[in-house]
Amino acid sequence: MAKPPTIRDVARLSGVSTATVSRFFTGKTSAIAPETIESVRSAAEELGYTPSEIGRSLRLASSRVVMMLVPDATNLFTADVAASVENALKGIGLSLVLANTAENAEKQDGLLADAQGLRARAIVLQGAMDTPRLREMAERQNNLIFVNRRPAPGIVAPYVGIDNFAAGFAVGRYFIEHGYENCVAIHGPRHYPGSSRRLEGFLAGVGEMRQVLRFECAFTMEAGYQQGSLLLADRSRRYTVFCANDMIAYGVYRAAMERNMRIPEELIIFGFDDNRVNGWLAPWLTTVKVPAFDFGPAIAELINETPATNDHNRTVILPFSLTIRQSA
């Protein structure tokens, strides 16, 4: 693999200095003579020259990559958000590096180090875990953006997401208004702030009147299936289940299907997120719609703000809505 041409090669071929070539590629064309522009352009084309983003990053002490850490690459909502972010970043000339923490604190810390090594323009944390390393980075630099899961107390950084309490509350109210009995919450891990806020909102929405059966559950189909199987072992009641997540809801649904249960006659299921494939593959699922594709633009704008404007704890709260379908 021949090593790529540099700015010097282009300068030599077109008979100008590297400064002029650099000016051409940084768009400062107003200060260059038209015939010079043309000769640089053609020399660059002939050599197949592309400016080295590495040299540029080094010189400017900042790269054009944004790193996004996701807790679970197999979550469909996460994938929707990632697609949205990638697209929005491309619009402002940035690249996205996607990495999976698998809900593992050590992996997260390793990836944070990688992001620092890459001099990432920004680090987007979907579902961050509170570690010393994270706190340290939040203090040292201000390029962290939290998504979906708010920063732990004491960490000051922008947040993009929905109002989890309000969303949970809305579901709880809906349950009451429709007189649902035997309410069940299959909620996410209790130590995740977003997850517990969602649950608190739901309980508040349901109110004191009814008691709510609770199951703690990882945000995966497999875990949902497991908890669902546990719950549905008792077929004497018609449960109304609020799942913290669409993935969990899919798992519960599978458990129900295996028992040949009819929905909603024998079981009512609510999910959360309403990812893109729901409309196609789970057209039965009633769920809280979170606007996955609004995340990208919001995050891109946050990144694009000059550090001056950025007050370091801006919060972008996106709207949610209830999508009522057959399972309700």
Q: Which of residues 34-53 bind its own copies (CB under 8 A)?
A: 48, 50-53
C-alpha of 24 from chain center: 37
Q: Note whether 105 binds its own copies by CB under 8 A.
A: no
Q: Which of residues 13-32 bind DNA (CB under 7 A)?
A: 15-20, 22-23, 25-26, 28, 30-32
* Least CB distance to DNA at residue 50 (A): 7
Q: How far is CA 140 from CA 45, 60, 120, 133, 135, in A?
A: 42, 19, 14, 10, 9
Return the residue of 19, 73, 230, 324 that touches its own copies, per CB under 8 A.
Answer: 73
33 binds, among DNA, its own copies, none (CB under 5 to 8 A by kind): DNA
Q: Which of residues 10-29 bind its own copies (CB under 8 A)?
A: none
Give the interface size with DNA as a residue count (CB under 7 A). 32
In whole angstroms, give the CA distance from residue 20 to residue 300.
32
Whether the CB-CB separation of 292 and 309 falls below 8 Å is answered with no
Which one, 110 or 200, has the nearer CB to its own copies? Answer: 110
Q: Note whether 259 binds DNA by CB under 7 A.
A: no
What residues does 126 pair with on adjacent strands? 147
Q: Note whether 4 binds its own copies by CB under 8 A.
A: yes
Q: Which of 125, 211, 197, 206 is nearest to 167 (CA)?
A: 197
In whole angstroms, give the CA distance from residue 321 to residue 308.
34
Q: Note whether 141 binds DNA by CB under 7 A.
A: no
Q: Note whether 58 binds its own copies by CB under 8 A.
A: yes
DSSP-derived pairing of the beta strands 95-100 and 286-289? unpaired
* Least CB distance to its own copies at residue 197 (A): 27
- Which helix (H) or strand (E) segment holds residue 113: the answer is helix 105-117
Q: How far is CA 298 from CA 68, 98, 105, in A?
A: 14, 18, 26
How buried is 180 (Cβ within 10 angstroms: 0-12 exposed, 13-18 middle, 19+ buried)? Answer: buried
65 binds, among DNA, its own copies, none (CB under 5 to 8 A by kind): its own copies
251 binds, among its own copies, DNA, none (CB under 5 to 8 A by kind): its own copies
Q: Note whether 189 binds DNA by CB under 7 A.
A: no
DSSP-derived pairing of the beta strands 321-323 and 286-289? antiparallel
Rg (CA), the chain: 25
Q: Note whether 55 binds DNA by CB under 7 A.
A: yes
Q: Note whether 83 binds its own copies by CB under 8 A.
A: yes
Side-chain-facing half-sphere of 229: CA atoms under 13 Å: 10
Return the residue of 1, 13, 48, 56 that touches DNA, per CB under 7 A.
Answer: 56
Q: Note whether 52 binds DNA by CB under 7 A.
A: yes
> Residue numbers of the site for its own copies (CB under 8 A)?
1-4, 48, 50-55, 57-58, 61, 63, 65, 73-74, 76, 79, 82-83, 86-87, 90, 95-100, 113-114, 116-119, 136, 140-143, 221, 250-251, 254, 257, 276-277, 280-283, 307
